[in-house]
Copies of this chain bind each other. A is one copy, B any other.
């Protein structure tokens, strides 16, 4: 499994295990969570993606229970979590509207909460989950810098930011932003051509990709374009003896920016197969065959 440097103090595995559905599993015992983590580690997948809000504020706690039961796992893992989305939830009955909060007060409280939930001393990578139209970049940037200098957070990044959001927050920070986790897949490939990826690539940074399988739409979509794409994926998958998931992820791995896809599944068998994407060899022509099938037309 390839590993990428994000800044000076952090390395992540190219494939990242996403824990947003940890609580959807019928088995949420610490032992079962531990089994999932170990299935990842055995393949070199050492990076795990969380957010305060995942599972209606429950996923971090499920990870925390597993780490309390098997504390030796922690040092073999890089843990990513996020903050700033304020979800409507029965855990916050006084909340009136879904919103964002990038105030220093909220970010710091959210990090403390995440540390407690996950039973860890520090977060390897903290991401702002969404750009906040009310962000006071000076306040937010200073809060993030402080979290890094306190050691509670080893590195900071963002998610779903556009280049100008990035430029705004960066301008107010001493700590460099390390990554931008964006929606990116064959069925959502605009960031490859709208400047979002180019802006990171220019800075030598690695984008993270959420929904690298387009939330399953690659498999279930029944329109002609998706069916054509599925056929193209199936043919390559057959040639390389992998499933089409691996080919769809390999399409992202082929990109020279060094994209880190976040893969989430609760099925242990599928977890054990996550690394297979790294063994797929796509030629440049195969990459464009998939790209054009997904776009529904050839390139200009």
Q: Which A residues are within 8 Å of any B CB, using their own CB? A: 95-101, 103, 130-131, 133-137, 139, 160, 162-165, 167-168, 171, 189, 192-195, 198-199, 201-202, 254-256, 284-285, 287-289, 291-292, 298-300
Provide a sorted-by-A list of 21 A–B residue pairs whose CB atoms are within 8 angstroms: A95-B285, A96-B285, A97-B298, A99-B284, A99-B287, A100-B288, A101-B284, A103-B284, A131-B193, A133-B192, A133-B291, A134-B254, A137-B201, A137-B256, A160-B300, A164-B195, A164-B198, A164-B202, A167-B198, A167-B199, A168-B202
**Residues of B with C-beta under 8 A to A288:** 97-100
Cα(A75)–Cα(B33), bound, Å:
72
**Knowing A96-B289, A99-B285 touch, does A163 contact B163 (C-beta < 8 A)?**
no
Cα(A120)–Cα(B289), bound, Å:
35
* CB–CB A298/B168 < 8 A: no
* CB–CB A193/B292 < 8 A: no
Q: Min CB distance, A128 to chain B, in Å? A: 13
**Knowing A171-B202, A198-B168, A202-B168 touch, does A98 contact B133 (C-beta < 8 A)?**
no
**Knowing A134-B256, A134-B287, A289-B96 touch, does A195 contact B300 (C-beta < 8 A)?**
no
Q: Chain B residue with minimal CB distance to A167?
A: B202
Given contacts A97-B288, A171-B202, 20 further A-B contacts (CB under 8 A): A95-B285, A96-B285, A97-B292, A98-B288, A99-B285, A99-B287, A100-B288, A100-B299, A130-B299, A133-B193, A133-B291, A134-B255, A139-B256, A160-B300, A163-B195, A164-B195, A164-B198, A164-B199, A165-B195, A165-B198
**Residues of B with C-beta under 8 A to A193:** 131, 133
Q: Chain B residue with minimal CB distance to A88?
A: B298
Cα(A293)–Cα(B16), bound, Å:
36
**Residues of B with C-beta under 8 A to A133:** 189, 192-193, 255, 291
Which of A98, A189, A292 has the largest number of chain B CB atoms within 10 A? A98
**Residues of B with C-beta under 8 A to A164:** 163, 194-195, 198-199, 202
Closest A-B pairs by Cβ, 10 of them: A164-B195, A99-B288, A136-B256, A133-B192, A168-B198, A164-B198, A98-B298, A168-B202, A97-B289, A171-B202
**Residues of B with C-beta under 8 A to A254:** 134
Cα(A56)–Cα(B97), bound, Å:
45
Q: Chain B residue with minimal CB distance to A131?
A: B193
Q: Chain B residue with minimal CB distance to A133?
A: B192
Cα(A164)–Cα(B198), bound, Å:
6
Q: Min CB distance, A78 to chain B, in Å? A: 26
